[in-house]
Amino acid sequence: QADASTLWLVPEVVQMRFTKLLDLDTEMRIIFSWVLTRDRPKGKEVVRYERTVEDPSDLPRNSDVQSVLNGTMNSFRVYNIYPRYFRVTGSGDVRPFEPEIAVSADLVISHQSPEWWSFFDINPLNVTCCGGLVGPMAIVVSEETPQGILGDTLSKFSIWGLYITFVLAVGRFIRLQCSDLRMRIPYENLPSCDRLIAICEDIYAARAEGELGVEEVLYWTLVKIYRSPHMLLEYTKPD
């Protein structure tokens, strides 16, 4: 339409050059794209679907396109341009429904200033909610996405990202708990710790009485015991 957000501002020189290329039976492609906008999920509000029409049976003849560009005709027909029904997943993928129902249409150019193209569906849907507007029409089904903190997390990292993060966190926690077990064997699960506890209580009593010399001797005795596995084994034998 004339008030469209994007106009067809192609210089005349470029149009003439393209028209001459069509005389050489150059292979032609038509790329049609949809830009779909939705509220959720966060970070994937805008998704894009693009399809290239390459089958010669679906494309117009080169002579028809030439006639439209030079003004002797005002339209040409393209078949199987895009699927009628889309499904937009939570991850942002756009997939057509099966079996696919394709849309065919006439592309009509309006030779005014500026020029613009109009899209007329050959078999339009009987939909009254568009207010009588014509143009490309499709039915899009957007998958429901969870809300809240979990929904925002899933929308940003997907279920695989959340799973990997959880596995890595749990794996790291278990690894920290199980690492260096052999280094802790001499100091854990001792048969009897009564003598070691008695030395610790004597250190506390000497500190309370102000006998700092006795406290230091007992402290270094305890350190010496822990530094020697043999002495530690002797001091922790059950009576």
Q: What is the pLDDT along the chain (239 residues), one digit of tens a residue?
A: 555 667 777 888 888 888 888 887 778 888 888 888 877 767 777 888 888 988 888 999 888 888 888 888 889 999 998 888 888 887 778 888 888 888 899 988 887 777 788 888 888 777 665 666 667 888 888 776 656 665 565 555 666 666 777 788 888 888 877 777 777 777 777 888 888 999 999 999 999 999 999 999 999 999 999 888 888 888 888 87
Work out the mean pLDDT of the chain and round it to a whole number: 81
Q: How far apart are CA 82 and CA 58, in angstroms?
A: 11
Exposed, middle or buried, 235 (CB in 10 Å: 0-12/13-18/19+)?
buried
Q: Do residues 62 and 113 share a domain?
A: yes
157 and 127 within one domain: no
Residue 1 lies in a domain: no
Taking the C-alpha atoms of residue 63 and residue 61, their distance in angstroms, rounded to an integer, is 5
Q: How confident is the model at residue 94, as a pLDDT?
A: 83
Residues 119 and 215 grouped into a single domain: no
169 and 133 both lie in a single domain: no
Q: Are 78 and 151 within one domain?
A: no
Q: Which residues of 62-79 are buried (b: 16+ CB within 10 A; e: fewer)?
A: beebbbbbeeeeebbebe
Q: What burial letters (b/e) apply to 50-59, b meaning 16+ CB within 10 Å?
A: ebebeeeeeb
Check if the beta carbon of residue 47 is closer than 8 Å to that of residue 94. Answer: yes
> Where in the sequence is the domain holding 19, given as residue range(s)?
12-145
24 and 116 housed in the same domain = yes
Residues 35 and 109 in one domain: yes
CA distance 122 to 107: 10
Question: What's the pLDDT tens digit per position in 25-57?
Answer: 778 888 888 888 877 767 777 888 888 988 888
> Number of structural domains, the chain?
3
HSE-up (13 A, CA, CB side) for residue 78: 24
Same domain, 132 and 154: no
**Residue 158 within a domain:** yes
Quick: pLDDT tens for 212-237: 999 999 999 999 998 888 888 888 88
Same structural domain, 72 and 118: yes
Cα(227)–Cα(232) distance, integer angstroms:
8
Q: Is the pTM of this model over 0.95?
A: no
Residue corresponding to tokens 């470029």: 14
Q: Are residues 132 and 175 in the same domain?
A: no
3-class state of residue 55 by DSSP: coil
At 145 the pLDDT is 62
Residue 230: its H or E element: helix 229-235
Helix, strand, coil fractions of the chain, as percent rounded to 5: 40, 20, 40
Strand partners, 21: none
